[in-house]
Amino acid sequence: MSNVKAYPSQEIDFRETIIQGKTIYENQNLGMDLRDYFAAKAMQSMLNEFYQGKSKKKSPYELLEQAELVSKNAYWFADKMINERKKL
């Protein structure tokens, strides 16, 4: 996956790494990854559907299983959205 940012930050994080006795400086944009942003949006939608009355009848263990499933599916949707975005 590419490291496209949803909200690019103006801040730059400079990291210093020493490789084979040479110091290498690497800058890194600190913004949120687009994949994480898309996953959060997908997860919000899935949880909204789930909590429309259904969660009141579920045990805590069933809710935990649902949370794991939702988070996996959220990233699946995010990956699909990024792939479609590349086609544009």
Query: pTM of the full predicted structure?
Result: 0.62
- Report how far residue 88's alpha carbon sits from residue 77's, in angstroms, rounded to the nearest whole number: 17
Q: What is the mean pLDDT of residues 27-51?
A: 80
**pLDDT tens string 74-84:** 999 999 999 99
**Torsion over CA of 57, 60, 66 and 68, rounded to 10 degrees?**
170
Local structure of residue 30 (DSSP, 8 states) = -
Give strand pairing partners of 67.
Answer: none
Q: What does the buried/exposed string (b/e) look like for 68-83 if buried means 16 or more CB atoms within 10 Å of the residue's CB? A: eebeeebeebbeebbe
Which of 39, 50, 36 has the alpha carbon at shortest distance from 77?
Answer: 39
